[in-house]
Amino acid sequence: MFFILDVATCDDVALAGFLTIVKTLLTLLQIFGPILCIISLVLIFIKGEFNPDDKKITKSIVNRVLALLIMFFVPVIVNATMGLIGENTNFSSCWNNASDVVKASDRYIDKHDKDKTSPLIDPNKYQNGESKSDGSSESGTSNQTSSGSGEMILIGDSRAVQTYEYLSNDWGNQANYSGGGVHTSDSTVFVAEGGKGINWLKQSGIPAAQGYFTSGKAVVIMLGVNDVSTTNIAQTYANYINSNVDSWTANGSKIYFSAVTPCDGSYASLNSNIDNFNTTLKSLLSNKVGWIDTDVYIKSKGYKTVDGLHYDQDTTLKIYNYIKSKV
């Protein structure tokens, strides 16, 4: 059970699925257990009518009543206890958020990450004539890829992967952390992987990027869209970032969070959750963390997606250039 206690939030879909099954079994026990006990009691009473001198009948009745009470109230007590503890422990956070995470993973988690050769499936669809053959960008941002340490460190999901790809015109190796580690383009270090959220940030994103947290470097976290529908997820992000910001900035770097930007099409239903996430997280983050309101900015400028979740080149580079102007 120790591996469960190490999980700070339930954006791990496998764990969320396991806890959802446990909760479902408890619910079924609460419903059908008492029914079976009542049926058993009726049969005992009927048996008692035919054999009233049987001394075991009273003991059987007491046992069935106790079983009925246990099966009905144990799930109630467990759920109530987890609700009261809330986000104060890792296990209770997982327990409370499990069903939301499973639902979110079915609908919202970056479907493009299923293609291991490219998180964006078809690079031609995303370039669509927008990337010039000489590798330059129509938005005036350099597409040069280098191995330098970079002035900005961008830690994110497939939207960050996509930004790197547009900047570098590197649609083959990808910027996925698990598929190639850290990539650099336009003096920005990208540590990114499609379909990820807070757990990946803790377990992979920060460990991979932390060596770049040096004097004068801007560290921008651009995550949230994949777990934005998870209960209390903004609180979980805030707790983690606030508790680590001092150590992250000890060498002179500055930490920023880039607001989750809107969706459209089949993902438009996410927007209310995105708004709530941004509002809550902004209010909870330490004043040591800079807030970059990319959401308000791109709404004011207008945006275009290619699939409802990922943006075209012009929108992607508008967001990227805005982030750079704020760090």
pLDDT value of position 69 = 78
| Residues 276, 200, 238, 250, CA torsion sign | negative
The DSSP secondary structure of 215-274, one letter per residue, reads: TT-EEEEE--TTTTTSTTHHHHHHHHHHHHHHHHTTTS-EEEEEPPPP--GGGGGGHHHH
pLDDT value of position 55 = 65
Structural domains in the chain, CATH included, are: 2-107 (no CATH), 111-326 (3.40.50.1110)
Is residue 198 a contact partner of residue 233, using CB atoms and an 8 Å limit? yes
210: tokens are 């932390």
313: tokens are 């080149």
pLDDT value of position 53 = 62
Between CA 109 and CA 265 the distance in angstroms is: 15
8-state DSSP, 154: E
Mapped onto helix, strand or coil, the DSSP state of residue 188 is strand
Other beta carbons within 10 angstroms of residue 276's beta carbon come to: 14
pLDDT value of position 165 = 86
pLDDT value of position 260 = 97
Mapped onto helix, strand or coil, the DSSP state of residue 132 is coil
Is residue 231 a contact partner of residue 96, using CB atoms and an 8 Å limit? yes
pTM of the model: 0.60
pLDDT value of position 182 = 81
pLDDT value of position 311 = 92
Among residues 239, 325, 232, 223, the alpha carbon closest in space to that of 285 is found at 239
What does the pLDDT look like over 248-262, one tens digit per residue?
Answer: 999 999 999 999 999
pLDDT value of position 198 = 93
Mapped onto helix, strand or coil, the DSSP state of residue 322 is helix
pLDDT value of position 73 = 78
Between CA 323 and CA 320 the distance in angstroms is: 5
Helix H, strand E, coil C: the string for 46-81 is HHHHHCCCCCHHHHHHHHHHHHHHHHHHHHHHHHHH
User: Which ranges of the chain have pLDDT less than 70?
Assistant: 1-16, 48-50, 52-55, 86-94, 96-150, 172-181
